Amino acid sequence: QKEVEQDPGPLSVPEGAIVSLNCTYSNSAFQYFMWYRQYSRKGPELLMYTYSSGNKEDGRFTAQVDKSSKYISLFIRDSQPSDSATYLCAMAGGKLIFGQGTELSVKP
Amino acid sequence: ETGVTQTPRHLVMGMTNKKSLKCEQHLGHNAMYWYKQSAKKPLELMFVYSLEERVENNSVPSRFSPECPNSSHLFLHLHTLQPEDSALYLCASSQESSTGTANTGELFFGEGSRLTVL
């Protein structure tokens, strides 16, 4: 079983849609949960960072962590074509593990 | 310059060539990393340097040789590579806590060096 599972997509949505990206994990030692965004031909950039369970909101982005279910989510409201990128979940707790990334395309 | 800079951005090499990838960070961080990114696969950690000392080497083949002359510069020396080594090689930096490798996951990545091995 992989430590972090992420649906690779691709995921295609119309502009304005609500997007839900998800990851599951198996290691209870993870304490820090991140979402990185990677545009084509660029390196990943940290988008959201949360510690332990709960929600964190930043503009149109909401990161949600449910440690009891070992499940994290990233919600994008009012999605824009500029949100088209690969989104990588990552988790840390002694070591840092990345998901394989979900490719998102937002169509105008 | 700001952030993490990688050169070259693209590299094509034969299996018998020797080349090097360079990374420079302007963030004042004390840890640097090499990751390999292949299509449809998670980022693979290759090497970690903390305070210029290698602290992690994830069973990487010896045809990849890292070098960290100071806290701002990191190199990846390549020799006798295989076609399956073709990938995007990402450099990253972070600020570790004074207690050691806290690794909270806050990494700053460069734009990567796209390597093609013929």
Instruction: Answer whether A72 touches B (CB < 8 Å).
Output: no
Tell me whether A32 touches chain B (CB under 8 Å): yes
Average pLDDT of chain B to the nearest whole number: 89
Q: What are phi and psi of B85, to 5 degrees?
A: -85, -5
Pick from A25, A22, A26: which is nearest to A35 by CA?
Answer: A22
pLDDT of residue B104: 66
Residues of chain B positioned with their CB less than 8 A from the CB of A88: 42-43
Cβ distance of B105 and A96 shorter than 8 Å: yes
| Two structure tokens written together for B31 | 């840890």
How much is the average pLDDT of A2-18? Answer: 92
Q: Which pLDDT tens digit goes with each residue over B40-76? A: 889 999 999 987 777 777 789 999 999 999 999 999 9
pLDDT tens digit sequence for A14-42: 999 999 999 999 988 888 899 999 999 89
Q: What is the mean pLDDT of chain A?
A: 93
Q: Is A47 on the interface with B (CB under 8 A)?
A: no
- Which of B47, B45, B1 is closest to B24 using CA atoms? B1
CA nearest to A88, candidates B37, B58, B10, B86: B37
Judge whether A10 is closer than 8 Å to chain B, CB to CB.
Answer: no
